[in-house]
Amino acid sequence: MATKVKGVGVGVNIVEKSVTYVSNTVIQLLFRIAHKRGLDPSYIQGNLDVIEKGLRTWLSEQKLRALLLQVFVADKDDALENWETMFEYYADPKEEVRKPPVQEIEKACEGLAKLPPGATYRIFASLDPDATEVDGWVPGTPKSLVAALEKVFEDWGFGQVGAKVRYQGGNWGDA
Amino acid sequence: MSMTDKSLAVGFRKMEEISALLSQVLNEAGTDASFAYGDELASVVGALSKEVVPLVYSQVLERIDVHFAEEEIHIELDYYPELDQEDDLDTSFLKLVSTKADKLAFNIVVNQEECATYLGADKIPSLSTEHVEVSLVCLEKQTAEEGGKSSSEGSPDNGNES
Protein backbone atom coordinates (compact mmCIF):
# COMPACT_ATOMS: atom_id res chain seq x y z
CA MET A 1 0.00 0.00 0.00
CA ALA A 2 2.89 2.38 0.69
CA THR A 3 5.45 3.68 -1.73
CA LYS A 4 8.72 5.04 -0.46
CA VAL A 5 9.46 8.43 -1.92
CA LYS A 6 12.88 9.37 -3.13
CA GLY A 7 14.36 12.79 -2.92
CA VAL A 8 12.17 14.23 -0.17
CA GLY A 9 13.31 17.63 0.94
CA VAL A 10 15.57 18.27 -2.00
CA GLY A 11 14.23 21.40 -3.63
CA VAL A 12 10.63 20.31 -3.59
CA ASN A 13 7.71 21.98 -1.93
CA ILE A 14 6.44 19.22 0.30
CA VAL A 15 3.59 21.26 1.76
CA GLU A 16 2.20 22.08 -1.68
CA LYS A 17 2.58 18.51 -2.91
CA SER A 18 1.08 17.09 0.25
CA VAL A 19 -2.01 19.30 -0.05
CA THR A 20 -2.40 18.56 -3.76
CA TYR A 21 -2.01 14.82 -3.30
CA VAL A 22 -4.56 14.58 -0.50
CA SER A 23 -6.96 16.94 -2.26
CA ASN A 24 -6.78 14.88 -5.48
CA THR A 25 -7.29 11.60 -3.66
CA VAL A 26 -10.24 12.92 -1.64
CA ILE A 27 -11.98 13.99 -4.85
CA GLN A 28 -11.18 10.61 -6.37
CA LEU A 29 -12.96 8.95 -3.45
CA LEU A 30 -15.96 11.28 -3.68
CA PHE A 31 -16.44 10.22 -7.31
CA ARG A 32 -15.89 6.53 -6.56
CA ILE A 33 -18.28 6.48 -3.58
CA ALA A 34 -20.98 8.37 -5.51
CA HIS A 35 -20.58 5.94 -8.40
CA LYS A 36 -20.74 2.81 -6.30
CA ARG A 37 -23.74 4.09 -4.34
CA GLY A 38 -25.61 4.90 -7.55
CA LEU A 39 -25.69 8.66 -6.87
CA ASP A 40 -25.77 11.27 -9.61
CA PRO A 41 -22.23 12.66 -10.15
CA SER A 42 -23.48 16.02 -11.41
CA TYR A 43 -23.36 17.61 -7.94
CA ILE A 44 -19.64 16.86 -7.64
CA GLN A 45 -18.93 17.66 -11.29
CA GLY A 46 -20.83 20.94 -11.11
CA ASN A 47 -19.03 22.02 -7.94
CA LEU A 48 -15.62 20.55 -8.69
CA ASP A 49 -13.77 23.86 -8.72
CA VAL A 50 -15.42 24.96 -5.48
CA ILE A 51 -14.73 21.64 -3.75
CA GLU A 52 -11.11 21.63 -4.89
CA LYS A 53 -10.54 25.25 -3.88
CA GLY A 54 -12.01 24.60 -0.45
CA LEU A 55 -9.92 21.48 0.05
CA ARG A 56 -6.71 23.13 -1.07
CA THR A 57 -7.28 26.28 0.98
CA TRP A 58 -8.22 24.57 4.22
CA LEU A 59 -5.72 21.74 3.97
CA SER A 60 -2.98 24.35 3.41
CA GLU A 61 -4.14 26.20 6.50
CA GLN A 62 -4.54 22.91 8.38
CA LYS A 63 -8.04 24.06 9.34
CA LEU A 64 -10.06 21.32 7.67
CA ARG A 65 -11.12 18.73 10.23
CA ALA A 66 -13.40 16.60 8.06
CA LEU A 67 -15.22 16.48 4.74
CA LEU A 68 -18.59 14.78 4.84
CA LEU A 69 -20.51 13.27 1.95
CA GLN A 70 -23.95 12.82 3.41
CA VAL A 71 -26.61 10.72 1.70
CA PHE A 72 -30.24 11.48 2.43
CA VAL A 73 -33.76 11.70 1.05
CA ALA A 74 -34.89 15.33 0.91
CA ASP A 75 -38.16 15.02 2.83
CA LYS A 76 -36.81 12.76 5.58
CA ASP A 77 -35.47 14.09 8.88
CA ASP A 78 -32.58 11.67 9.23
CA ALA A 79 -29.73 11.03 6.84
CA LEU A 80 -29.11 7.57 5.40
CA GLU A 81 -25.34 7.46 5.31
CA ASN A 82 -22.29 9.51 6.17
CA TRP A 83 -19.01 9.06 4.32
CA GLU A 84 -16.68 11.23 6.32
CA THR A 85 -13.04 11.90 5.46
CA MET A 86 -11.22 12.94 8.62
CA PHE A 87 -7.91 14.78 8.39
CA GLU A 88 -4.79 14.77 10.53
CA TYR A 89 -1.85 17.14 10.33
CA TYR A 90 1.68 16.17 11.21
CA ALA A 91 4.39 18.48 12.50
CA ASP A 92 6.88 15.93 11.23
CA PRO A 93 6.04 15.25 7.56
CA LYS A 94 5.64 11.61 6.53
CA GLU A 95 8.01 10.60 3.77
CA GLU A 96 5.81 7.79 2.53
CA VAL A 97 3.11 8.22 -0.06
CA ARG A 98 0.25 6.15 1.29
CA LYS A 99 -2.46 5.34 -1.21
CA PRO A 100 -6.15 5.67 -0.36
CA PRO A 101 -7.98 2.37 0.19
CA VAL A 102 -10.09 2.78 -2.94
CA GLN A 103 -10.80 -0.89 -3.53
CA GLU A 104 -11.76 -1.53 0.08
CA ILE A 105 -14.16 1.40 0.07
CA GLU A 106 -15.67 0.35 -3.26
CA LYS A 107 -16.09 -3.19 -1.98
CA ALA A 108 -17.82 -1.88 1.13
CA CYS A 109 -20.13 0.23 -1.05
CA GLU A 110 -21.07 -2.87 -3.01
CA GLY A 111 -21.93 -4.66 0.24
CA LEU A 112 -24.44 -2.03 1.27
CA ALA A 113 -28.14 -2.26 0.56
CA LYS A 114 -29.35 -0.25 -2.40
CA LEU A 115 -30.33 3.33 -1.63
CA PRO A 116 -34.04 4.19 -1.79
CA PRO A 117 -35.50 6.23 -4.67
CA GLY A 118 -34.87 9.95 -4.25
CA ALA A 119 -31.62 9.47 -2.36
CA THR A 120 -29.25 12.33 -2.99
CA TYR A 121 -26.22 13.81 -1.25
CA ARG A 122 -24.42 16.95 -0.20
CA ILE A 123 -20.87 17.70 0.86
CA PHE A 124 -20.08 19.49 4.12
CA ALA A 125 -16.76 20.72 5.43
CA SER A 126 -16.01 20.78 9.14
CA LEU A 127 -13.62 23.65 9.81
CA ASP A 128 -11.76 25.39 12.57
CA PRO A 129 -13.50 28.71 13.41
CA ASP A 130 -10.75 30.86 11.93
CA ALA A 131 -10.59 29.09 8.55
CA THR A 132 -10.59 31.32 5.47
CA GLU A 133 -13.91 31.72 3.69
CA VAL A 134 -13.97 30.18 0.23
CA ASP A 135 -16.38 31.36 -2.46
CA GLY A 136 -19.10 28.87 -3.23
CA TRP A 137 -19.18 27.33 0.24
CA VAL A 138 -22.12 28.42 2.39
CA PRO A 139 -23.02 27.58 6.00
CA GLY A 140 -24.94 24.36 6.29
CA THR A 141 -25.95 21.75 8.82
CA PRO A 142 -25.94 18.04 8.06
CA LYS A 143 -28.98 16.00 9.00
CA SER A 144 -28.77 13.80 12.04
CA LEU A 145 -27.98 10.15 11.47
CA VAL A 146 -28.98 7.11 13.46
CA ALA A 147 -26.04 4.89 12.67
CA ALA A 148 -26.33 1.22 13.40
CA LEU A 149 -23.06 0.48 11.68
CA GLU A 150 -19.71 2.13 11.44
CA LYS A 151 -16.54 1.25 9.62
CA VAL A 152 -13.26 3.13 9.52
CA PHE A 153 -10.96 2.46 6.59
CA GLU A 154 -7.19 2.51 6.42
CA ASP A 155 -5.60 5.93 6.50
CA TRP A 156 -3.58 7.44 3.70
CA GLY A 157 -1.70 10.62 2.92
CA PHE A 158 1.65 12.17 2.37
CA GLY A 159 3.80 14.88 3.94
CA GLN A 160 1.95 16.97 6.51
CA VAL A 161 -1.53 15.65 5.78
CA GLY A 162 -3.15 12.32 6.55
CA ALA A 163 -6.74 11.23 5.98
CA LYS A 164 -9.08 8.36 6.66
CA VAL A 165 -12.65 7.58 5.72
CA ARG A 166 -15.36 6.62 8.18
CA TYR A 167 -18.65 5.15 7.01
CA GLN A 168 -21.71 5.48 9.21
CA GLY A 169 -25.09 4.14 8.25
CA GLY A 170 -27.64 1.56 8.96
CA ASN A 171 -27.93 -0.68 6.00
CA TRP A 172 -24.86 -2.84 5.74
CA GLY A 173 -26.07 -5.50 3.35
CA ASP A 174 -24.09 -8.46 4.56
CA ALA A 175 -23.73 -7.51 8.22
CA MET B 1 3.59 1.09 -37.14
CA SER B 2 5.88 2.84 -34.69
CA MET B 3 4.80 3.12 -31.06
CA THR B 4 6.18 5.50 -28.46
CA ASP B 5 5.33 5.63 -24.78
CA LYS B 6 5.20 8.88 -22.87
CA SER B 7 4.21 9.57 -19.29
CA LEU B 8 2.48 12.32 -17.36
CA ALA B 9 2.89 12.40 -13.58
CA VAL B 10 -0.46 13.23 -11.99
CA GLY B 11 -0.24 12.58 -8.26
CA PHE B 12 1.24 15.82 -6.96
CA ARG B 13 -0.21 18.17 -9.54
CA LYS B 14 -3.23 20.42 -9.51
CA MET B 15 -5.91 19.31 -11.93
CA GLU B 16 -5.86 22.59 -13.86
CA GLU B 17 -2.17 22.04 -14.52
CA ILE B 18 -2.77 18.49 -15.75
CA SER B 19 -5.56 19.60 -18.04
CA ALA B 20 -3.40 22.40 -19.49
CA LEU B 21 -0.45 20.05 -19.96
CA LEU B 22 -2.53 17.45 -21.77
CA SER B 23 -3.91 20.15 -24.01
CA GLN B 24 -0.44 21.43 -24.79
CA VAL B 25 1.01 17.98 -25.51
CA LEU B 26 -1.84 16.87 -27.77
CA ASN B 27 -1.62 20.11 -29.76
CA GLU B 28 2.15 19.81 -29.99
CA ALA B 29 1.86 16.25 -31.25
CA GLY B 30 -0.30 17.57 -34.09
CA THR B 31 2.14 20.36 -34.85
CA ASP B 32 5.12 18.02 -34.81
CA ALA B 33 3.27 15.64 -37.12
CA SER B 34 2.71 18.50 -39.58
CA PHE B 35 -1.02 18.16 -39.12
CA ALA B 36 -2.63 20.71 -41.42
CA TYR B 37 -5.80 21.34 -39.43
CA GLY B 38 -4.43 23.06 -36.35
CA ASP B 39 -7.56 25.05 -35.52
CA GLU B 40 -9.73 21.96 -35.76
CA LEU B 41 -7.29 20.09 -33.55
CA ALA B 42 -7.15 22.89 -30.97
CA SER B 43 -10.92 22.97 -30.78
CA VAL B 44 -11.22 19.22 -30.21
CA VAL B 45 -8.33 19.15 -27.75
CA GLY B 46 -9.77 22.09 -25.81
CA ALA B 47 -13.07 20.27 -25.34
CA LEU B 48 -11.39 16.93 -24.72
CA SER B 49 -9.09 18.21 -22.01
CA LYS B 50 -12.15 19.40 -20.07
CA GLU B 51 -14.07 16.16 -20.60
CA VAL B 52 -11.25 14.04 -19.20
CA VAL B 53 -10.98 15.98 -15.92
CA PRO B 54 -13.43 13.78 -13.96
CA LEU B 55 -11.76 10.71 -15.47
CA VAL B 56 -8.39 11.88 -14.19
CA TYR B 57 -9.78 12.80 -10.76
CA SER B 58 -11.36 9.38 -10.43
CA GLN B 59 -8.21 7.71 -11.82
CA VAL B 60 -10.28 5.95 -14.45
CA LEU B 61 -8.27 7.44 -17.32
CA GLU B 62 -5.38 5.08 -18.02
CA ARG B 63 -3.83 6.74 -21.04
CA ILE B 64 -4.46 8.71 -24.20
CA ASP B 65 -3.28 7.17 -27.46
CA VAL B 66 -2.56 9.46 -30.38
CA HIS B 67 -2.63 7.82 -33.82
CA PHE B 68 -1.64 9.30 -37.15
CA ALA B 69 -0.13 7.89 -40.31
CA GLU B 70 2.25 5.16 -39.16
CA GLU B 71 2.83 6.66 -35.74
CA GLU B 72 1.22 5.92 -32.39
CA ILE B 73 1.99 7.68 -29.11
CA HIS B 74 0.77 6.41 -25.76
CA ILE B 75 0.52 9.03 -23.04
CA GLU B 76 0.27 7.14 -19.78
CA LEU B 77 -1.05 8.82 -16.64
CA ASP B 78 1.00 7.99 -13.59
CA TYR B 79 -1.16 8.60 -10.53
CA TYR B 80 1.47 7.62 -7.98
CA PRO B 81 4.76 8.92 -9.35
CA GLU B 82 7.95 9.35 -7.43
CA LEU B 83 8.01 12.75 -5.79
CA ASP B 84 10.77 14.04 -8.04
CA GLN B 85 9.62 12.21 -11.17
CA GLU B 86 9.61 14.30 -14.31
CA ASP B 87 7.25 13.99 -17.26
CA ASP B 88 8.34 12.46 -20.52
CA LEU B 89 6.11 14.30 -22.94
CA ASP B 90 8.39 15.58 -25.67
CA THR B 91 6.91 14.86 -29.10
CA SER B 92 9.42 16.83 -31.15
CA PHE B 93 11.02 13.57 -32.33
CA LEU B 94 8.08 13.32 -34.70
CA LYS B 95 9.68 16.01 -36.86
CA LEU B 96 12.58 13.62 -37.42
CA VAL B 97 10.36 10.91 -38.84
CA SER B 98 8.97 13.47 -41.32
CA THR B 99 5.42 12.43 -40.73
CA LYS B 100 2.72 14.41 -42.41
CA ALA B 101 -0.74 13.64 -41.12
CA ASP B 102 -4.05 14.60 -42.65
CA LYS B 103 -6.02 12.80 -39.97
CA LEU B 104 -5.41 12.37 -36.24
CA ALA B 105 -7.13 9.96 -33.88
CA PHE B 106 -7.24 9.99 -30.09
CA ASN B 107 -8.15 6.92 -28.10
CA ILE B 108 -9.22 7.74 -24.57
CA VAL B 109 -8.28 4.54 -22.76
CA VAL B 110 -10.10 3.90 -19.49
CA ASN B 111 -9.68 1.13 -16.96
CA GLN B 112 -13.30 0.95 -15.76
CA GLU B 113 -15.90 1.30 -18.45
CA GLU B 114 -18.86 1.48 -16.09
CA CYS B 115 -17.35 4.26 -13.99
CA ALA B 116 -16.16 6.13 -17.12
CA THR B 117 -19.66 6.01 -18.59
CA TYR B 118 -21.09 7.14 -15.26
CA LEU B 119 -18.81 10.18 -15.46
CA GLY B 120 -20.02 11.03 -18.95
CA ALA B 121 -17.17 9.59 -21.01
CA ASP B 122 -19.62 8.02 -23.45
CA LYS B 123 -20.10 11.54 -24.86
CA ILE B 124 -16.41 11.85 -25.74
CA PRO B 125 -16.66 10.26 -29.24
CA SER B 126 -19.12 13.00 -30.22
CA LEU B 127 -16.22 15.47 -30.10
CA SER B 128 -14.92 13.91 -33.35
CA THR B 129 -14.63 16.11 -36.42
CA GLU B 130 -13.74 15.49 -40.06
CA HIS B 131 -10.01 15.27 -39.44
CA VAL B 132 -9.81 14.53 -35.72
CA GLU B 133 -11.39 11.34 -34.43
CA VAL B 134 -11.92 10.69 -30.74
CA SER B 135 -12.79 7.24 -29.39
CA LEU B 136 -13.36 5.73 -25.98
CA VAL B 137 -11.56 2.46 -25.38
CA CYS B 138 -12.00 0.25 -22.34
CA LEU B 139 -8.82 -1.44 -21.20
CA GLU B 140 -10.72 -4.44 -19.81
CA LYS B 141 -12.24 -5.15 -23.23
CA GLN B 142 -9.06 -4.43 -25.12
CA THR B 143 -7.15 -6.79 -22.86
CA ALA B 144 -9.74 -9.51 -23.36
CA GLU B 145 -9.57 -9.06 -27.12
CA GLU B 146 -5.82 -9.41 -26.97
CA GLY B 147 -6.23 -12.87 -25.47
CA GLY B 148 -5.62 -12.03 -21.85
CA LYS B 149 -2.40 -10.14 -22.43
CA SER B 150 -1.86 -7.98 -19.39
CA SER B 151 -2.27 -4.29 -19.89
CA SER B 152 0.59 -1.87 -19.56
CA GLU B 153 0.68 -0.58 -16.02
CA GLY B 154 2.79 2.16 -14.55
CA SER B 155 5.07 4.26 -16.65
CA PRO B 156 7.86 3.08 -18.89
CA ASP B 157 11.38 3.53 -17.69
CA ASN B 158 12.60 4.83 -20.98
CA GLY B 159 11.16 6.82 -23.80
CA ASN B 160 10.94 5.23 -27.18
CA GLU B 161 9.92 1.77 -28.20
CA SER B 162 9.47 0.64 -31.74
A39-90 pLDDT, tens digit each:
999 999 999 999 999 999 999 999 999 999 999 999 999 999 999 999 999 9
Residue A94: is its pLDDT beyond 60? yes
Q: What are phi and psi of B116, to 5 degrees?
A: -60, -45
Contact A24 B84 (CB under 8 A): no
Band the pLDDT of B88: cuts 50, 70, 90: confident
Residue A174: is its pLDDT beyond 80? no
The CA R_g of chain A, rounded to the nearest whole Å, is 16
* CA B7 to chain CA mean position, Å: 10
- Summarize the confidence of residues A140-144 as an average pLDDT: 95
* CA A94 to chain CA mean position, Å: 20
Band the pLDDT of A172: cuts 50, 70, 90: low
Band the pLDDT of B143: cuts 50, 70, 90: low
Contact A41 B12 (CB under 8 A): no
Higher-confidence position of B104 and B156: B104
pLDDT confidence of residue A11: 38
Band the pLDDT of A170: cuts 50, 70, 90: confident
pLDDT confidence of residue A3: 38
Residue A6: is its pLDDT beyond 90? no
Higher-confidence position of B4 and A107: A107
What percentage of chain B has pLDDT greater than the value 70? 85
Convert the pLDDT of each residue in B58-69 to its tens digit: 999 999 999 987
Contact A31 B58 (CB under 8 A): yes
CA gap B92, B31 in Å, rounded:
9
pLDDT confidence of residue B142: 55
CA nearest to A24, candidates B80, B12, B150: B12
- Taking residue A7's Cβ as centre, other Cβ atoms within 10 Å add up to 12
CA gap B54, A98 in Å, rounded:
22
Nearest CA to CA, how far is B100 from chain A (Å)?
38
Band the pLDDT of B1: cuts 50, 70, 90: low
- Summarize the confidence of residues B101-112 as an average pLDDT: 93
Nearest CA to CA, how far is A128 from chain B (Å)?
24
Chain B residue with minimum CA distance to A19: B12
Which residues does A contribute to its contact with B (CB < 8 Å)? 3, 5-8, 10, 12, 17, 20-21, 24, 27-28, 31-32, 35, 41, 45, 48, 52, 56, 97, 99, 102
User: How many alpha carbons lie under 13 Å from residue A154 in its C-beta half-sphere?
Assistant: 11
CB nearest to A6's CB, from B12, B84, B120: B84
Q: What are the chain B neighbours of A45 within 8 Å (beta carbons)?
A: 54, 119-120
- Summarize the confidence of residues B18-40 as an average pLDDT: 90
Nearest CA to CA, how far is A89 from chain B (Å)?
18
Band the pLDDT of A175: cuts 50, 70, 90: very low
Query: Dihedral (C-alpha) B83, B84, B89, B95: value to the nearest 10 degrees?
Result: -170
Is residue B42 within 8 A of residue B104, CB to CB? The reply is no
Contact B57 A24 (CB under 8 A): yes
Q: What are the chain A neighbours of B15 within 8 Å (beta carbons)?
A: 24, 52
Q: Does B54 touch chain A (CB under 8 A)?
A: yes
CA gap B87, A111 in Å, rounded:
39
Residue A32: is its pLDDT beyond 60? yes
Question: Of the given ranges (A134-143, B101-110, B118-127, B136-145), which has the lowest mean pLDDT?
Answer: B136-145
DSSP labels, A131-168: PPP-TT-----PPB---SEEEEPPPEEEEEEEEEEEEE
Pairing of strands B2-9, A149-152: unpaired
Q: Does B82 touch chain A (CB under 8 A)?
A: yes
Residue B75: is its pLDDT beyond 60? yes
The whole model's pTM is what? Answer: 0.85
Residue B159: is its pLDDT beyond 70? no
Residue B103: is its pLDDT beyond 60? yes
CA nearest to B28, candidates B107, B96, B104, B91: B91
Q: Does B115 touch chain A (CB under 8 A)?
A: yes
Nearest CA to CA, how far is A169 from chain B (Å)?
24
Is residue B84 within 8 A of residue A4, CB to CB? The reply is no
H/E element holding A112? Answer: none
DSSP labels, B35-84: -S-HHHHHHHHHHHHHHTHHHHHTT-EEEEEEEETTEEEEEEEESS--TT
* Cβ pairs bridging A and B (under 8 Å): 59
